[in-house]
Amino acid sequence: MGRKRRGRDTLETCANCGRSVPRDKAVQDVKRVRYDTDLKGDDNIVHTEFRTVYYCISCAKHGKIFEKKKEQARRKREREMYG
């Protein structure tokens, strides 16, 4: 019988400082990355990709990502309450 790893969460690396943070404590943010060929005319190819990045609490607070997430959650609660 195998041993289960209860209480142990996977570590994520902070995208800003490189600190290892447990996934449940890290702040998750989705960034939109856009690649294009910078060609004029019809030959231009544009590719958009969504990438999930994780930040430690201190970098998220410093970069105002943490406050933005709290504000979005507050707006979502208000929409559900009135709509």
CA angle 9, 11, 13 (to 5 degrees): 155
Tens of pLDDT, residues 26-64: 999 898 998 888 777 778 888 999 999 999 999 998 988
21 with 11: CB under 8 angstroms?
Answer: yes
Listed by start position, the domains of the chain span 11-82
pTM beyond 0.75, yes or no: no
Structure tokens at 18: 């490189």
